[in-house]
Amino acid sequence: MKVVHVLLAVLVAAIWGFNFVVIRVGLDAMPPILFAGLRFALAAVPAFWIARPAVPWPRLIAIAGFLFVIQFAGLFSAMAVGMPPGVGSVTLQAQALFTTLFAGLLLREWPRPVQAVGLLIALCGLVLIGATAGSGGITWPGLMLTLVAAAGWGMGNVLLRGTKADLLPLMVWLSLLSAPPLLLGSWAIEGTDVAIHALRAMSWLAFGALGYIAIISTLLGYVIWGHLLRQYPATTVAPFALLVPFFGAGASAILLGETFTPLRIAGFVLILAGVAIVARPPSAKDVR
């Protein structure tokens, strides 16, 4: 990769990692499902001039439901009830476990032996993090909701497989389809009074958080990522996503004062090592 493209890939990882801190800031002002719904409502604005990608409506709706609605309703709710940003950024990488599981069950694409080892290592990391639930800012509901978010991401990955659409139009239209169910969910679960009070009391910091996750993280991040995927093979670009948890944990530690016990750090290392093994492209021997 050219140096400028390497820097762009690292920039996207930093944007997506810092996103966890910004979410935490936004959740101090808004209930989680409303926050997620407003994020995608804002990210969907370009749908007025960007044509719908050539993806059948049923598949597009299913991708939006799992990749955006379930993932971010779960993640935002988890962070609202007890999942610190740094730990959440790493725990969410359990999506690799769910992606492999769903791909095996639905597509009969079972993991290679080396990938199975990576999944087992990542699972051990999740167990270590789970052992710390109930202390240090992590609650059991927060951990469970984060795993629900990871499962939604995993199923969304499987549904995305084979989709040829450019990332920007796809993200915009997925946002358009995700905003209504999230806003309706907020009305049903969080209540109209809570939503109205939150919107009236929004500070400039809350508006900034909403703008960041909708415009910078969702639209700009995927524009750059899509550009890189058009320039290089996915196996070259995808590993840079493994930097996201490092930026997420680092930003949370520096800006929010989040601390990590040795047991959690060990869990982080195992999860990221396992995901790295799963993401490793197959060798010629594996292909044979």
Q: How far out from the chain centre does Cα 190 lie?
A: 23
Q: How confident is the model at residue 246 (pLDDT cuts 50, 70, 90)?
A: confident
Q: How confident is the model at residue 75 (pLDDT cuts 50, 70, 90)?
A: very high
Q: How confident is the model at residue 284 (pLDDT cuts 50, 70, 90)?
A: low
Q: What is the pLDDT of residue 203?
A: 86
Q: What is the pLDDT of residue 263?
A: 84
**Is residue 147 exposed (0-12), middle (13-18) or buried (19+ Cβ within 10 Å)?**
buried
Q: What is the pLDDT of residue 31?
A: 94
Copy the structure tokens of residue 119: 């999944």
Q: Which of 274, 271, 273, 277 is nearest to 86 (CA)?
A: 271
Q: Which residues 6+ apart lie within 8 Å of 159 measured at CB?
A: 59, 62, 63, 66, 67
Check the CA dihedral 172-93-230-66 and report its sign.
negative
Contact status, residue 143 vs residue 133, Cβ threshold 8 Å: yes
Q: How far out from the chain centre does Cα 66 lie?
A: 11
Q: Determine the Cα–Cα distance for residues 273 and 205; give it in Å rounded to an integer.
A: 36
What is the radius of gyration, based on Cα positions, of the chain? 18
Write the pLDDT tens digit of every residue in 171-216. Answer: 999 999 999 999 999 999 988 888 888 888 888 998 999 999 999 9
Highest mean pLDDT among 21-35, 234-248, 259-273: 21-35
Q: Other C-beta atoms within 10 Å of 60: how many? A: 21
Q: How confident is the model at residue 283 (pLDDT cuts 50, 70, 90)?
A: low
Q: What is the pLDDT of residue 235?
A: 61
- pTM value is 0.88
Average pLDDT, the chain: 87
Q: Determine the Cα–Cα distance for residues 176 and 216; give it in Å rounded to an integer.
A: 17
Contact status, residue 279 vs residue 96, Cβ threshold 8 Å: yes
Measured CA to CA in angstroms, residue 130 lies from 118, 123, 187, 241, 258 at distances of: 18, 10, 32, 23, 17
Q: How confident is the model at residue 151 (pLDDT cuts 50, 70, 90)?
A: very high
Measured CA to CA in angstroms, residue 137 lies from 23, 31, 84, 191 at distances of: 16, 18, 6, 26
DSSP strand E in 14-94: where? Answer: none
**Helix-helix angle 244-256:3-27, to 10 degrees:** 50
Q: Could you tell me where the DSSP H helices lie in 201-261? A: 204-211, 221-231, 234-237, 244-256
